[in-house]
Amino acid sequence: MSVLSGKKILLGISGGIAAYKTAHLVRLFIKAGAHIQVIMTPASKDFITPLTLSTLSKNQVYSDFFNEDDKEAMWNNHVDLALWADLFIIAPATANTMSKMANGNCDNLLIATYLSAKCPVYFAPAMDLDMYKHPSTLSSFSKLKQFGNTIIPAESGELASGLSGEGRMAEPENIVSFLENDLLSKLPLKGKKILITAGPTYEAIDPVRFIGNHSSGKMGYDIAEEAANKGAEVILVSGPSNQVLKDNSIQLIKVVSAQEMYDACHANFENVDVAIAAAAVADYRPKNVASQKIKKQETNLTIELEKTQDILATLGEKKRNQFLIGFALETENEIENAIGKIKKKNLDLIVLNSLNDKGAGFGHSTNKVTFIDKNFKELPMDLKSKEAVAQDIVNIIIKHYEK
């Protein structure tokens, strides 16, 4: 999944021949999962029609402060457009438009919106080679960078004048790649590798029956999605679950039993920076698994159980520099039991949730947790969606690496 997925992108188009490429650029943004609004300068409409861009973006295209053909229409509020955007891309950015941006010459809707923008702004210059190298253009580049804007460098090639050289607007595919790489490089968990477990484990009794629990896996899956959104490379080891990952960059390892989860975790643990054990792993399994379905008997059936290997405790024994996070689902003496697990399993953080709290635990879209760190400092949280709890957990990881 592209890092642009779900992003609200405002595309500003100024009046240069390269404006014809913006139809393809809009298509690429849509394909990446972004939401697009387009603002055109009046001059840009000589090169590509608003109808084309409106059709491709599936949104109204803005060019003027108000629609002269509709006297009843509201004005086009540049402040609302600016505040809507997560990213503002101006492509093509002509010498004229860049000069206005650099000097605050606000004579059209695009510049008014730019001057109101609080989101990151990128601009892709497009002009002839002598214009590109002119001191006034270089001055605009310098000012716009000083203002915190990011230039998408022009490319070399054949220009509209017939000359060949630098000044050609970056190709749409290259603009999208530039944005993705730039955003990824700024994500707080870029370069970190995170191992996460999720869901239940099923311990076979016979080919038909198993011992399991009610864990849906949602908490672990939400943590995986949030960590990936923050730039981490994520390995998700999941027991049986109906949850579906939205981010295809996450490496999903499907397992069934506690032993399979143990093996997958230990195979990957040495190479990760963070491990989060959110799975509800079975503590016991049948000592002997019947090769055929056990038939119903007149008398009671006794199944001898044996302990499974404690995945989190064994990871704690192997831990070197990893940030290790465990979960504790308790019904009594919650804090004391959670602190005991921190000590016993060599954890850096435990996420405690109690079945006594309404809306917490298995089978809910919400959770109410208390974070306890290795120094036994407690941070109780309100009832939240599991997505919000996942954000809290990932934010703790980010703060850990900011120290």
* Interatomic CA distance for residues 95 and 76, integer angstroms: 25
41, 72 contact by CB (below 8 A): no
DSSP state for residue 187 in the 8-state scheme? S
Q: Residue 251's Cα: distance from chain center in Å? A: 15
Task: Read off φ and ψ for residue 14, nearest 5 degrees.
Answer: -105, 175
Distance CA 314, CA 74 (A): 65
Instruction: Give catalytic status of residue 77 as yes or no.
Output: no
> What's the CA gap between 392 and 223, in Å, rounded?
9
Nearest to 44 by CA among 112, 94, 81: 94
Q: Residue 126 CB: number of other CB atoms within 10 A?
A: 27
Nearest to 61 by CA among 83, 42, 86: 42
Residue 92: asked if its preceding bond is cis (omega within 30°), the reply is yes
Q: Cα(334)–Cα(345) distance, rounded to whole angstroms?
A: 16
159 Cα distance to chain centroid: 38
SS3 251: strand
**Angle of CA points 225, 281, 353, to nearest 5°:** 70
The residues, any chain, with a CB within 8 Å of residue 211's CB and separated by 6 or more, are 202, 203, 205, 282, 284, 285, 286, 305
Candidates 67, 213, 268, 337; catalytic one: 213
Q: Residue 11's closest CA among 31, 39, 30?
A: 39
Bridge partners, residue 380, by sequence: 370
- The answer to whether 352 touches 389, Cβ cutoff 8 Å, is no
Residues annotated as catalytic are: 213
